[in-house]
Amino acid sequence: MVSGPVSVVLVAAVLVVALILWLKRDRRHPGPRLYGVDGIDRDELEEAEREVRELEAGAVPDDERLGDDWGPGTGTPRPPTRL
């Protein structure tokens, strides 16, 4: 552990140097969230949102695949199926 005035000053100096290095770090790369390109297909997103808005409140869930539907209005949970 840290005991004595010399080790306390040494630990404080290391912390100050680390803080200065962190503040002086290279910030040329702002990160992906700050650019205009986010990789989201806006047309597909709008189409999916339109489709969800058009659904009725009492819509019946799809029965295409077992276990595919979840959330409010899907009824009681089904027992697990053996594979």
Residues 6+ apart with CB under 8 A from 46: none
Phi, psi of 58 (to 5 degrees): -100, 30
Burial code (b: 16+ CB inside 10 Å, e: under 16) for 21-56 equals eeeeeeeeeeeeeeeeeeeeeeeeeeeeeeeeeeee
* pLDDT tens-place string over residues 31-81: 666 555 667 788 888 998 888 887 766 666 555 555 556 666 666 666 777
Q: Does the global pTM surpass 0.75?
A: no
What type of residue sits at position 36?
Answer: G
* Integer Cα distance of 62 and 33 in angstroms: 35
